[in-house]
Amino acid sequence: MTDKGRLVRKSIAVLTLGCLTALPASAQTVKERLPTCLACHGENGQSKNPEVPSLGAQQVFYVTVQLLMFRERMRVVDPMNDMAKGLSDDDLRSLADFISKLPAPQPPDGPVDNARIERARTLVEKNHCNICHTATFAGQENVPHIADQREDYLIKALRGYKDNSRRGYDAAMADVIEPITDAQILDLAYYIARVK
Backbone dihedral angles phi then psi of residue 140, each to the nearest 5 degrees: -165, 135
CB of 123 to other proteins, least distance (A): 9
Is 118 a binder of other proteins (CB under 8 A)? Answer: no
Stretch that binds other proteins, among 3-11, 85-93, 111-119, 148-156 (CB under 8 A): 85-93
Is 65 a binder of other proteins (CB under 8 A)? Answer: yes
- State how far the alpha carbon of 19 is from the alpha carbons of 24, 31, 38, 96, in Å: 11, 13, 11, 21
Is 125 a binder of other proteins (CB under 8 A)? Answer: yes
Nearer to other proteins, 31 or 73 (CB): 73
HEC secondary structure over 41-52: HCCCCCCCCCCC
Angstrom distance (rounded) from CA 185 to CA 14: 31
Question: Do the beta carbons of residue 176 and residue 127 sit within 8 Å?
Answer: yes
Is 127 a binder of other proteins (CB under 8 A)? Answer: yes
Residues 15, 19, 60, 74: which binds other proteins (CB under 8 A)? 74
Q: Is 12 left (phi over 0), alpha (psi -120 to 50) or beta?
A: alpha
Enumerate binding residues for other proteins (CB under 8 A): 61, 64-65, 68, 72-74, 89, 92-93, 125-128, 130-135, 140-143, 164, 169-176, 178-179
